[in-house]
Amino acid sequence: MQDDRSVLPDSDPLGLFAAWFAEARESEPNDANAMALATATPDGAPSVRMVLLKEFGPEGFTFYTNAHSRKGGEILTNPRAALLFHWKSLRRQVRIEGPLSEVSHEQADAYFHSRAFVSQIGSAASDQSRPLDSRATYIARVEALESACRGGEVARPPYWTGFTLAPEQIEFWLDRPNRLHDRRRFTRAGDEWASTLLYP
């Protein structure tokens, strides 16, 4: 039987996340930075999808998207969200909750133009989440934009942007034998973090 000492430390959740994320990048076969992003409408109807974490630090966790998409619309009208990382190779998960804020135009420009040319084209040509009559229509738009931008820069659409989630709660879950898992929740109060173990 496991003893009462958790392997999860009781301070510095951002440092613990950084350590776990570094391990996941070594062990996960695909996209260690993939995370489920849960948003909701103003009246509380939820939706969830996978996105990619692109930056993280003391200010929060940043991802990029089309603000005209369903998730973008929900974020703009109800700027709170939850994230979930599930690293199956490590048998760990991390849940993060908090408010969202939009990145600066300069930050969005810098990330957009760091992407592969084809990825920039694909994003600029897409009316994300809108009805599409056929895939051929989308491919034709991609090809037309690629031809127009060949040898030049792809302009970042003004609605293609990023959001940073400022964590108010972070919960770490670690698999243990016989479902006697370890869970620790960190709650932010100003610049300080308090933590508590949770029953699995």
Q: Which helix (H) or strand (E) holds 14?
A: helix 13-27
Q: How many CB atoms lie within 10 A of CB 111?
A: 19
* 155 and 146 Cβ atoms separated by less than 8 Å: no
3-class DSSP state for residue 132?
Answer: coil
What radius of gyration do the chain's Cα atoms show? 19
Spatial separation of the C-alpha atoms in residues 75 and 41, rounded to whole Å: 8
Instruction: Look up residue 81 and give its two tokens.
Output: 């969200």
SS3 assignment, position 123: helix
State the DSSP H helix or E strand holding residue 76, giving kind and residue range, or none if neither.
helix 70-77
Sequence letter at residue 115: R
Catalytic residue among 5, 135, 150, 179: 179
Catalytic annotation present for 179: yes
H/E stretch holding 171: strand 169-174
CA 144, CA 110: separation in Å to the nearest integer?
24
Residues marked as catalytic: 179
